[in-house]
Structure 1
Amino acid sequence: MNMNAQDARAFLQGLFGAAVDAVGAARCLPPHLPRPPEQGRTLVLGAGKAAAAMARSVELHWQGALSGLVVTRYGHGAPCQTIEVVEAAHPVPDAAGRNAAARMLALAGALTEHDLVLCLVSGGGSSLLALPAPGVTLEHKQAINRALLKSGAPIAAINCVRKHLSAIKGGRLALACAPARVVTLLVSDVPGDDPGTIASGPTLPDPTTCADALAVLREYGIATPPEVRAHLESGAGETPKPGAPGFERNSVQVIAAAKDALAAAAAFARAAGITPLILSDAIEGEARAVALEHAVLARRVARPVALQLARPCVILSGGETTVTVRGTGRGGRNAEYLLSLALALDGARGVYAIACDTDGIDGSEDNAGAVCGPDTLERAAALGLDGRSLLENNDAYTFFAALGDLVVTGATRTNVNDLRALLVL
């Protein structure tokens, strides 16, 4: 197949677009809507980067009356008629998220056994449902959240802490809704798609403990205010456990996940005559270390007799890498992965790559991710950019911005974590 650099980059961006479209609420949510209650009312509650788009999809397909409140990240809203949409801060929570969460608990407290709560949850909900437990302040949560995000801790560990410092997460929202029935629809942004980890499981019982949360804080050296430590050591932050009363009538369904995005990406590749190989939908680890492993694989595929994989091919993976922030630059885990990959490939011929977050935001920057190719380091050198120094400063955003190789999509209003694709021609 004859494909120049421009064609390769266009193919990779088209592949990413197909993957994102496949996990949008308009496509994924309608088949999973429950029947309206026979007697009671339907209340919609939700949180996450996809929450507003999910609420919009509910409104378009629901047969009957609706009311409700969802909270999403700033810039991720969608036009709704009967469900109120509030925007708040992510990844570090703010007062808007705190106030929205408090209002949700108040709405939940006015329900009967005849009512239905449709809970729309997606990645980002942990920060957006920012209602501190008694004795814990929003400022405490903000400081701990910032430190955890820089620590390189995996999302399950971060959310373990978040659950035990919250008045609404870790199953507490579902208990507040009792005796109403709660149906939770999830867009998964966590490797493995554990429903209780997505957005810190506001409607799911939680098997983790305050002791687990304390262990995470110790392992990653997170400064812990005395009030927070006392809250955890006393057991006051304990979450409802599996088997606890109040969850019996509830149900949960993951309606979109990384595997769905990867399947769509693979179909896009096949339609273009390119062989796809899906490595995994649940890759975790330090972004730059994962990149080194993928570079080795790409080089092996590029050798004619190394692997039984016909070229051209595209190597696909999903999941969520982490970045331990030691520098002062502008990063994002996908940009960091790509810069590490480019350095490891060192201009290897015929290998192009894209790495993007499906929510359109790479960490806290304005890009979804970036693309790279055989000419990346050569072009960077011509501009006087030292890729290795920028990587050590966690400044991959600056590197790819200077090259014009950032991928900017804006808010996609879905979130199934990262998609990485290595095209080997």
Structure 2
Amino acid sequence: MTQAQDFFREVMTKAFNVGVDAAQPDVVLAKVWAQKIAPWLEQMAPERQRVWVYGAGKAAASMARAVEHCALGQESLSGFVVTRRGHAVPTQAIEVLEAAHPVPDEDGQRAARRLHRAISEVPAKDAVIALVSGGGSSLLSVPVRDIPFVDLQQLNRALLACGAPIDEMNIVRKHVTMTLGGQLAQACRAPVYQLLISDVPGDDPSAVASGPFTPDESTFNDAAEVLRRWSVQVPHSISRYIDKGCKGLVPETPNKSSLVFRKVRTEMIASNMLSLNAVTDCLSASGYHVLNMGDTLEGEARDVAQVHAAIARQIASLQGGWPKPPVALISGGECTVTLNDTQMRQARGGRNSEFLLGLVANLRDVSPQVELAALAADTDGIDGVGGHAGALLLPGDLSRAAELNLSAQVHLDLHTSFDYFKALDRLLTTGPTMTNVNDIRMILIGRPEVVGSP
């Protein structure tokens, strides 16, 4: 590693870790509990015997542990949460179950059915704390009676491969399950305080884990339109059920006019933008002028990379009216990677490493004299297939890739970004971070201590 490579790796990984730390439940929940949840419990459930905690998502276990730290000794807690395998943490009163993600498995279905039944049995005088984070859509997938579970699994695979944005995928999921799109709120008699960690662009509560406790304004017609627009081939049981819904033969999911939501309060405790703001502060302290492009970026990973590369190229060449280096370009949101059936079988990588590979392919003409580095990673620590959180690009990597006969374009077309960055030893591996607020991308142009040097 050169001095420049050491510098950029240290600055970027530190900034990424700061962003992840800003989304940790135990960092933010103590204040929320004291100032909001405890008074709400006294108001909404003054005769409660117990506070029931239920939830699902990649951050559900760490959220449960944070609730215990706040409430044990003050409240009698019971309940359980469902999280992705490998994301469990030790808890005392709240049970943690693990299941598959992003395609639901039998363990997840059993856990989701158990949660649906349990929440419907909570006494009206008690209270529920609902812990919801990204990943909950698959972990809470209980199909309606007319749809076999294997067909729901096939739907999830097809949605993941079609390239649709997450909010549109969730519209379909809400209308073929018993648990999503406000239906858990509908099943519960007790008052509910919903705590959210958002992994969706724009932080729409109804899109986080497909909004199990949130009003759903989408319809069966919207779900049918998503399937048409993205040419999603689904099992007959699903197409028949959605068609019945379009004809008014099946009730819609509860919307904001439903009285069930009078007893539900929602609190967003962590989001992509909060993490991006923390990253901005960290990079500013390192001497960078930070351009924050926000948390709502969506689109095909390689296309988003092309736009980022164009901006980085202009900054590096002092064109286009952009600030002069040292500049940090950061963004959040969630890209997509569209795969056909063959590519699904051979793909290795994820949307972040694919974004970074697209960046490499579009920065081939940048002068090697310009010090440029980049990082793209998922805040949950898992970027698709390969066990990595994302990847890094360091100065000199383009030349080194040429020496190793690595073609960014070839790997991009094959969707094997993992192989490309593994060969360069540039994979970023963190393991599960126990939170999930979507992706963090950063491009650094220049080093503060060497800008202006010959």
Which TM-score band applies after superposition, normalised by the shorter structure? over 0.9
Shift of 1:347: 6.1
Distance 1:177 1:31 in 2: 27
Give the structure 2 partner of residue 293 of structure 1.
Answer: 307
- The CA RMSD over aligned residues, in Å, is 1.5
Q: Tell me which of 93, 106, 116 is aligned to 1:82.
A: 93
1:398 lines up with 2:410 in the alignment: no
Give the structure 1 partner of residue 334 of structure 2.
Answer: 320
1:10 lines up with 2:10 in the alignment: yes
1:42 lines up with 2:51 in the alignment: yes
TM superposition outliers: structure 1 runs of 4+ over 6 Å: none
Shift of 1:363: 2.2
Q: Secondary structure at the match of 2:101?
A: coil
Q: Secondary structure at the match of 1:411?
A: coil
The range that moved more, 100-109 or 44-53, is 100-109
Is contact 1:347-1:376 (8 Å) kept? no
Shift of 1:375: 2.2
The range that moved more, 247-256 or 320-329, is 320-329
Q: TM-score, normalised by structure 1?
A: 0.97
Shift of 1:234: 1.1
Shift of 1:384: 2.2
Distance 1:208 1:29 in 2: 31
Q: Secondary structure at the match of 1:391?
A: helix
Q: Tell me which of 137, 145, 148 is aligned to 1:137.
A: 148
Shift of 1:250: 1.1
Is contact 1:91-1:364 (8 Å) kept? no
AA aligned opposite 2:233: A
Give the structure 2 partner of residue 232 of structure 1.
Answer: 242
Is contact 1:186-1:254 (8 Å) kept? yes
Distance 1:292 1:375 in 2: 20
Is contact 2:158-2:234 (8 Å) kept? no
Shift of 1:304: 3.2
Shift of 1:300: 1.2
Q: Tell me which of 48, 60, 73 is aligned to 1:51.
A: 60
AA aligned opposite 1:231: Y
Q: Unaligned 5+ residue runs, structure 2?
A: 447-454
Give the structure 1 partner of residue 295 of structure 2.
Answer: 281
Distance 2:32 2:144 in 1: 32
Q: Secondary structure at the match of 2:381?
A: coil
The range that moved more, 63-72 or 309-318, is 309-318
Distance 1:109 1:308 in 2: 56
1:119 lines up with 2:130 in the alignment: yes
1:330 lines up with 2:344 in the alignment: no
Is contact 1:55-1:120 (8 Å) kept? yes
Is contact 2:58-2:380 (8 Å) kept? yes
1:200 lines up with 2:221 in the alignment: no
Distance 1:402 1:364 in 2: 16
Is contact 1:183-1:250 (8 Å) kept? yes
The range that moved more, 187-196 or 382-391, is 382-391
Distance 2:107 2:208 in 1: 21
Percent of pairs with identical residues: 43
Give the structure 1 partner of residue 449 of structure 2.
Answer: none
Shift of 1:306: 3.9
Query: Which digits, 9 at most, give the CA deviation of each residue in 1:13-60, with x for residues without a partner?
Result: 111011100111111222222124421121001100000000000001
Q: Unaligned 5+ residue runs, structure 1?
A: none
Is contact 2:377-2:441 (8 Å) kept? yes
Shift of 1:92: 0.4
Q: Secondary structure at the match of 1:401?
A: helix
The number of residues matched between the two structures is 423
Give the structure 1 partner of residue 193 of structure 2.
Answer: 183
Give the structure 2 partner of residue 421 of structure 1.
Answer: 442
Q: TM-score, normalised by structure 2?
A: 0.91
Q: Secondary structure at the match of 2:124?
A: coil
Is contact 2:55-2:130 (8 Å) kept? yes
Give the structure 2 partner of residue 105 of structure 1.
Answer: 116
Q: Tell me which of 281, 287, 299 is aligned to 1:267.
A: 281
Q: Secondary structure at the match of 1:214?
A: helix
Is contact 1:133-1:237 (8 Å) kept? no
Distance 1:74 1:409 in 2: 15
Distance 2:113 2:156 in 1: 19
Q: Secondary structure at the match of 1:217?
A: helix
